[in-house]
């Protein structure tokens, strides 16, 4: 965690509201998914980890029903004010839709959030990069409200309510992976999550002599405005057609072998490719965890590479920016594996790189990307962090 970010959050609160005495300073991480992409809303498995990058926020209860929000990452928006009585799905198109949605969802479930609050946030997650800055904000808000109002909400329920807020209040047809990882992150572990029933296992990440490098295309994406919702709908169509010939609740209930047996029930070739990716990706995720537990890091890297090919060709959510980063990475010695991570349509790749090769990776991949795409990529060597936390009582 960053001392600079903590100070920035405190100054943002003081400059826009008042002295934060009686409030609290909170943190919630971002996340990167190591493998298992676009499986979470298809009832499959994912394998993400929380990061030490994230969102910092100062929250302080008020004596009335007013809600005031400020983000040091979007100072041009200024302070946004509303009240507990004005919350309604679709009301806001600002960044505040995320915390508003969380509060609205908690109220709709009967939790006693009986006064408003002021919140000021900042973060070191690059927005629109696919590192779950929005889920980080969701869970930060849910965690802070739980702590401020003494609500009886389990950690995994923070994720469930955050997902519901994104789906119902913000209009994003996302799965639960991002919110669950942020809420349940464990330092130096990845989370092997079955999204169909939320059973999970924390698996140690033994990357001795290796680093996780995130490469940011700097092509911003928006899950609401992109084709993400279209992919979600295409998977729903594939599921409905498969259900005419086989008894399943989710696409990822099928093994690759079963998919090959029943795939002709899907009428459109494009829809068939979407289903193929989800089902084969789920199998890759399960195999990746097995080889990682066995200490076969190169086998894990090979599966990462296969996953990128699938998400590029069958799911078609990469584009030249992400494909360039991945292809250039694989040209270098010391790169174990590389793939797109997140929703796609911009965002980042995640690579496992031998520690001694990181600087060459940054230079050569960066130079090749700038030459081909025309603007620079950014690179982050990240650490695996834990879940949300109270950093300071003010």
**List of domains in the chain:** 3-204+385-393 (3.30.230.10), 210-382 (3.30.70.890)
Please indicate whether residue 40 is annotated as part of the active site: no
154 closest CA partner among 166, 137, 139: 139
Structure confidence by residue, pLDDT tens digits, 167-209: 999 988 888 999 999 999 999 999 999 999 999 999 998 888 9
Once rounded to an integer, what is the mean pLDDT over residues 79-100? Answer: 93
Please tell me the pTM assigned to this model: 0.90
Q: Tell me, what's the pLDDT at 227?
A: 77
Residue 223 pLDDT exceeds 70:
no
pLDDT grade for 289, boundaries at 50, 70 and 90:
very high
CA 82, CA 85: separation in Å to the nearest integer?
Answer: 8
CB burial class (10 A; 0-12, 13-18, 19+) of residue 394? Answer: middle
Q: Tell me, what's the pLDDT at 224?
A: 47
Whats the size of the chain, residue-wise? 394
Active-site residue (options: 118, 166, 178, 253) = 178
Q: Which residues, in sequence order, are bridge partners of residue 200? A: 193
* Paired tokens of 182: 């942020």
Q: Which residues contact 125 (CB under 8 A, 6 or more apart)?
A: 30, 51, 53, 54, 55, 131, 132, 133, 136
Residue 330, number of CB atoms within 10 A of its CB: 16
Structure confidence by residue, pLDDT tens digits, 311-327: 999 999 999 999 999 99
* Paired tokens of 190: 């990845």
Once rounded to an integer, what is the mean pLDDT over residues 67-77? Answer: 96
Once rounded to an integer, what is the mean pLDDT over residues 286-306? Answer: 95
Q: Tell me, what's the pLDDT at 172?
A: 84
Are the CB atoms for 167 and 174 separated by under 8 Å? yes
Residue 55 pLDDT exceeds 70:
yes
At residue 346's C-alpha, the angle toward residues 345 and 349, to 5°, is: 115
**Which 3 state secondary structure label does DSSP give 28?**
strand
Are the CB atoms for 350 and 212 separated by under 8 Å? yes
* Paired tokens of 222: 């928006």
Once rounded to an integer, what is the mean pLDDT over residues 137-150? Answer: 98
The two beta strands, 210-216 and 348-354, are antiparallel
Residue 129 pLDDT exceeds 90:
no
Structure confidence by residue, pLDDT tens digits, 237-284: 999 999 999 999 999 999 999 999 999 999 999 999 999 999 999 999
């Amino acid at each position: 965690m960053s001392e600079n970010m903590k100070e920035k959050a405190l100054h943002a609160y003081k400059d826009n509201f008042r002295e934060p005495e009686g409030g609290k300073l909170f943190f919630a991480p971002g996340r990167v998914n190591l493998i298992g992409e676009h499986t979470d809303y298809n009832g499959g498995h994912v394998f993400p980890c929380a990061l030490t990058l994230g969102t910092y926020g100062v929250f302080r209860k008020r004596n009335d029903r007013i809600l005031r929000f400020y983000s040091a990452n979007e100072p041009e928006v200024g302070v946004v004010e509303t009240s507990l009585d004005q919350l309604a799905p679709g009301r806001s198109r600002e960044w505040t839709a995320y915390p508003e949605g969380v509060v609205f969802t908690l109220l709709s479930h009967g939790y006693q959030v009986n006064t408003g609050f002021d919140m000021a946030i900042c973060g070191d997650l690059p927005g629109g990069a696919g590192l779950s800055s929005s889920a980080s904000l969701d869970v930060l808000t849910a965690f802070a409200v739980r702590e401020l109002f003494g609500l009886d909400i389990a950690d995994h329920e923070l994720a469930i309510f955050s997902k519901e807020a994104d789906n119902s209040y913000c209009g994003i047809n996302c799965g639960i992976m991002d919110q669950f990882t942020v809420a349940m992150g464990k330092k130096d572990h990845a989370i092997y999550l079955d999204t169909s029933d939320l059973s999970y296992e924390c698996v140690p990440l033994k990357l001795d002599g290796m680093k996780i490098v995130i490469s940011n295309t700097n092509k911003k994406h928006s899950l609401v405005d992109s084709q993400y919702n279209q992919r979600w709908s295409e998977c729903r169509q594939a599921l409905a057609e498969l259900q005419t010939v086989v008894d399943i609740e989710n696409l990822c209930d099928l093994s690759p072998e079963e998919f090959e047996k029943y795939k002709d029930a899907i009428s459109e070739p494009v829809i068939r490719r979407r289903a193929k990716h989800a089902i084969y990706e789920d199998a890759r995720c399960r195999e990746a965890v097995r080889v990682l537990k066995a200490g076969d890091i190169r086998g894990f890297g090979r599966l990462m590479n296969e996953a990128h090919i699938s998400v590029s060709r069958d799911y078609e959510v990469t584009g030249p920016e992400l494909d360039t980063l991945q292809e250039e990475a694989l040209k270098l010695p010391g790169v174990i594996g590389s793939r797109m991570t997140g929703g796609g349509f911009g965002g980042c790749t995640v690579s496992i790189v031998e520690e001694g090769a990181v600087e060459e990776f940054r230079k050569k991949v960066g130079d090749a990307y700038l030459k081909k795409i025309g603007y620079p990529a950014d690179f982050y060597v990240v650490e695996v962090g834990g879940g949300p936390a109270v950093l300071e009582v003010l």
